[in-house]
């Protein structure tokens, strides 16, 4: 799959304070990339750099396979974006606002405005001025504006912020349709995990300006179904048995008594037998799914992904 956007070491400082640090992210053609992070993590700043609204302090951006030079507008014409709250001419209608935008973008397709408004669920607003629109309608108009020139890459910063659940569901369907039916690659940010979880093909997690994880949702789903959690009398001894006797490297120690094993080849009975044979007390053994929420918290608290036995080894030493 070809790469639509790649950043390498992208950084931004404001008045000497670095708010985005060395972000290297890769977005593939046709995917929905969920950019997830708590408030203030740096999502908007990254998106502003990607859309040429602010200049990076360091690093590089590659769009559609070409490095982006400062002030270059060509790649921007292949992108649509809605960064923060969209701003409109409030006394003009949706149609009039869209016309102005299309003129500015050099988009002269006579059907483009009607189609974008229809897709965004705004085809019946007639001459109503934007100042009479609800917040949700303004968000939709921002999206209609972003898609009307048929972008190859759509960048949306918290597009469902402040919307009601029905509106959120409708927009989610719209994003899916834009991705699947129109082949548009989408970068979408949110601080709400559940929003991204149901939509994204890949997630990038940003925390305190750093990209702490970039992983496909498929990988996340596969990994979180294959966990056996053992509550034992001594987690460090259990980790030793798991690694040395069973030869498993994919496990994690949690606290003094709990070990999670992610290797799908091991049966719970086999694990139980090995632990008991080596004199380790076993309080419980359960198959469980690690929720993405748990995983997310670990990522932003600096935890490594669970396919790694380093932590277990560290706690043995």
Ligand X SMILES: Nc1ncnc2c1ncn2[C@@H]1O[C@H](COP(=O)(O)OP(=O)(O)OP(=O)(O)O)[C@@H](O)[C@H]1O
Comparison of 12 and 101: residue with beta carbon closer to ligand X: 12
Q: Are strands 32-36 and 3-14 parallel, antiparallel or unpaired?
A: unpaired
Least distance in Å: CB of 155 to ligand X? Answer: 12
The C-alpha atoms of residue 270 and residue 267 are separated, in whole angstroms, by: 5
Contact region for ligand X (CB under 6 A) — 43-51, 120-128, 238-246, 289-297?
43-51
The single residue listed with the structure tokens 């009398």 is 233
Comparison of 17 and 70: residue with beta carbon closer to ligand X: 17
Residue 81 touching ligand X (CB under 6 A): no
Binding to ligand X in span 9-28, by CB under 6 A: 14, 19
Taking CA atoms, 202 is separated from 32, 228, 260, in Å, by 7, 25, 24
Residue 37 touching ligand X (CB under 6 A): yes
Least distance in Å: CB of 158 to ligand X? Answer: 6
Least distance in Å: CB of 196 to ligand X? Answer: 13
Residue 86 touching ligand X (CB under 6 A): no
Residue 41 touching ligand X (CB under 6 A): yes
Helices 112-119 and 135-147 pack at an angle, to 10 degrees, of 140
Residues β-bridged to residue 18: 13
Using alpha carbons, select from 293, 310, 312 the residue that is nearest to residue 301.
293
Binding to ligand X in span 165-204, by CB under 6 A: 191
Residue 75 touching ligand X (CB under 6 A): no
Provide the phi-psi class of 22: left if phi over 0, else alpha when psi is between -120 and 50, else beta: left
The single residue listed with the structure tokens 């509550």 is 231
Choosing from 2, 39, 269, 317, the residue that interacts with ligand X (CB under 6 A) is 39
The C-alpha atoms of residue 274 and residue 301 are separated, in whole angstroms, by: 32
Binding to ligand X in span 44-63, by CB under 6 A: 44-45
Residues that bind ligand X (CB under 6 A): 14, 19, 37, 39-45, 191
């Amino acid at each position: 799959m070809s790469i639509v956007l790649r950043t390498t070491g992208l950084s931004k400082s404001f008045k000497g304070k670095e708010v985005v640090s060395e972000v290297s992210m890769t977005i593939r053609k046709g995917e929905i990339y969920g950019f997830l992070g708590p408030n203030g993590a740096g999502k908007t700043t990254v998106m502003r750099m990607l859309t040429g609204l602010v200049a990076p302090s360091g690093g590089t951006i590659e769009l559609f396979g070409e490095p982006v030079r400062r002030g270059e507008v060509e790649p921007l014409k292949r992108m649509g974006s809605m960064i923060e709250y969209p701003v409109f001419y409030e006394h003009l209608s949706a149609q009039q606002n869209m016309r102005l935008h299309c003129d500015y973008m050099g988009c002269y397709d006579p059907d483009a405005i009607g189609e974008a408004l229809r897709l965004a669920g705004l085809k019946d607003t007639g001459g109503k001025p934007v100042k009479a629109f609800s917040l949700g309608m303004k968000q939709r108009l921002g999206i209609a504006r972003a898609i009307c020139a048929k972008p190859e890459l759509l960048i949306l910063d918290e597009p469902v912020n402040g919307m009601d659940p029905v509106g959120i569901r409708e927009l989610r369907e719209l994003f899916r349709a834009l991705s699947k039916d129109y082949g548009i690659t989408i970068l979408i940010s949110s601080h709400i995990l559940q929003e991204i979880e149901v939509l994204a093909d890949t997630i990038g997690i940003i925390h305190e300006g750093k990209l702490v994880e970039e992983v496909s949702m498929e990988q996340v789903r596969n990994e979180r179904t294959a966990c056996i959690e053992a509550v034992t009398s001594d987690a460090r001894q259990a980790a030793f048995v798991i690694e040395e006797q069973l030869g498993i490297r994919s496990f994690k120690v949690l606290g003094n008594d709990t070990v999670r094993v992610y290797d799908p080849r091991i049966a719970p009975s086999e694990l139980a037998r090995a632990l008991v044979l080596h004199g380790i007390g076993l309080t419980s053994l359960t198959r469980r799914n690690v929720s993405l929420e748990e995983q997310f918290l670990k990522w932003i608290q600096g935890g490594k992904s669970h396919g790694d036995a380093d932590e277990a080894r560290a706690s043995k030493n």
